[in-house]
Amino acid sequence: MPITRFLENNADRFGDEVCLVEINPELKEKHKLTWKDYSLVEVTPHEEHRREMTWKQFDERANRFANLLLSKGLRRGEKVGILLMNCLEWLPVYFGILKAGGLAVPLNYRYTADEIKYCLDLADVTVLVFGKEFVGRVESVFGELDKIEGMLFIGEDCPTFAESYDELAEQASPERPDVEITDEDYSAIYFSSGTTGFPKAILHKHKALMRAAITEQKHHFQQKDDVFLCIPPLYHTGAKMHWFGSLVSASKAVLLKGVSPKWILQTASEEKASIVWLLVPWAQDILDAIDSGEINLSDYDLSAWRLMHIGAQPVPPSLIQRWMKVFPNHSYDTNYGLSESIGPGCVHLGVENIDKVGAIGKAGYGWQTRIVDDNRRDVKRGDVGELAVKGDGVMVCYYRDEKDTQAVLEDGWLFTGDMAREDEDGFIYLVDRKKDVIITGGENLYPVQIEDFIRSCEAVRDVAVIGMPDVRLGEIAVAIVELKPEYADWTEERINAFCAALPRYKRPRKIIFDKVPRNPTGKIEKPKLREKYCGEESLVEVQITG
């Protein structure tokens, strides 16, 4: 059954109930001065900081967009790009594409103009839907987009090179289009995060979307009265597939446009959020704001909040231990997944396994896992190897990239490139990315293990460990440390003293104080750090001490 059926069923059964809310706290707080009766007074802006939509409106808007695409000649299997910030229009656009028999192609909102062009070309996109934030970038490459047949703009002041989505969709029929969709039809192309190179186009079928929806609801037990607070970008499989749990259960979701601790807690309080998905930096910021007194928890009603879960990157156990001290009534969960495995859920910890914090869990609902050596043979339990997963959510292929597809797919198994181990109870622990392993003097170092240790230091806000070329050892471990503001006077010697508790071979040989760059889904952008610090001029010989 295609995922669009859930939307239609919800519209038929719960049509007048609110399903989506968009919150923009910046508009709520923003004021401007104007003259009135010869005096300057404050007035709030005309934009609405809170918008909402019912299930019936959602379905009708998706139908209108589907019918608009069909009226413009969209053919089955053609690709439609989505270049939007999180907003109330995002999901109806996505479902409209699916209902028309097209493939949705969400784009990272941080892409440069050149990256937008590259991804549109690679995925053979013929129609692009975009918002006001992207006018300049799209316009700069507009003349080079040979495959694009239509541009649709969402918002006011439509640029001359595009048509108004709002006007055209309003004129289209709200009736459900007569387009048959099957589980084996292609549904979407997602792009890899690009943390290890230029993005790859990942092709999925409709059955992968269904696998994500069922798995998410099984893992987090979404019920009709749940409210999901969604903060990460919808272009990413993580946020979208977690929202699918709300779709299956016909429950409300809130799209928050902002990540400050105050806004997150305020929205969770006002909207009675019961499930909140955070990234590591946001959880860290909330705890720091509470510790510093910037946030007073008594100002918020968080009684409805039952589940906090984190995904999209390795989660430091020290962070969760700290969180549970502040929020002892929360259940905690984490999921592991890749865009190649339709996002989160192929490995799942489970709220009942809080004693296994640090693990990513076991095979998720409907999934299988293996840990293998370089010859793709299963390793002994406890040994480190590459994690492989299998299930209906595994991608079809890297679109137009047979070589890279063959490198990661075999007999239905997806070889993730993540190094992992399995404990005596069958729980899987991530060790690191296969490409991130540092080989120093013949020893394998796994940066995530070192990062988890350093991040437990009270002075450290964030940390990334990379391998730096070394003339004698081949590589050395270098820690890029981002200090908390109140510990700005900490020195390399103090970090080294903290690291003395590590085994000697695991201690970083160099400490660099800098901001740790992360992408919108919270993953550390190590290529940027390697480019910055590991050029040929970075070849050093380090005297081992301690």
The string of pLDDT tens digits covering residues 378-437 is: 999 999 899 999 999 999 999 999 999 999 999 999 999 888 999 999 999 987 676 777
Give the domains, in start order, of the chain with CATH numbers.
Answer: 4-29+47-204 (3.40.50.12780), 437-538 (3.30.300.30)
List C-alpha distances in Å: 203 to 106, 130, 147, 278. 12, 21, 19, 27
The H or E element that residue 461 is part of is strand 460-470
Stretches in the chain below the pLDDT threshold 70: 29-47, 193-197, 312-314, 432, 434, 441-443, 471-472, 474, 520-521, 535-546
Task: Please say whether the dihedral angle defined by the alpha carbons of residues 414, 466, 198 and 88, taken in this order, is positive or negative.
Answer: positive
Q: What is the pLDDT of residue 441?
A: 62
Beta-ladder partners of 39:
36
Q: What is the pLDDT of residue 106?
A: 97
Give the number of other CB atoms < 10 A from CB of residue 354. Answer: 15
Question: Which H, E and C letters describe 64-131, residue by residue?
Answer: HHHHHHHHCCCCCCCEEEEECCCCCCHHHHHHHHHHCCCEEEECCCCCCHHHHHHHHHHCCEEEEEEE
Q: What is the pLDDT of residue 244?
A: 95
What angle (nearest 5°) sits at the alpha carbon of residue 228, between those of residues 226 and 230? 175
Q: What is the pLDDT of residue 110?
A: 82
The answer to whether 327 and 295 have CB atoms below 8 angstroms apart is no
Q: What is the pLDDT of residue 540?
A: 38
pLDDT tens readout for residues 334-372: 988 889 999 888 999 999 998 998 899 999 999 999 999
Which of 248, 129, 104 lies closest to 189 in space, CA to CA? 104
Q: Is 42 left (phi over 0), alpha (psi -120 to 50) or beta?
A: beta
- How far is Cα 219 from Cα 171, in angstroms, rounded to an integer? 40
Q: What is the pLDDT of residue 313?
A: 64
Phi–psi pair at 542, nearest 5 degrees: -110, 130
pLDDT tens readout for residues 437-469: 787 766 678 788 888 889 889 999 999 998 888
Residue with tokens 């050395």: 476
Phi–psi pair at 334, nearest 5 degrees: -140, 150
Sorted by sequence, the CB contacts under 8 Å of residue 195 that are 6+ apart come out as 519, 523, 524, 525, 526, 527
Could you tell me how far CA 392 lies from the centroid of its own chain?
A: 20
Q: What is the pLDDT of residue 546?
A: 31
Which of 434, 468, 435, 438 lies closest to 450 in space, CA to CA? 438
Q: What is the pLDDT of residue 541?
A: 34
What angle (nearest 5°) sits at the alpha carbon of residue 278, between those of residues 277 and 279? 135
Q: What is the pLDDT of residue 49?
A: 86
- State whether residue 429 is helix, strand or coil: strand
Q: What is the pLDDT of residue 37?
A: 54
- How far is Cα 543 from Cα 529, in angstroms, rounded to an integer? 23
Q: What is the pLDDT of residue 468?
A: 87
pTM (predicted TM-score)? 0.82
Q: What tokens does 297 get?
A: 């928890």
The answer to whether 101 and 76 have CB atoms below 8 angstroms apart is yes
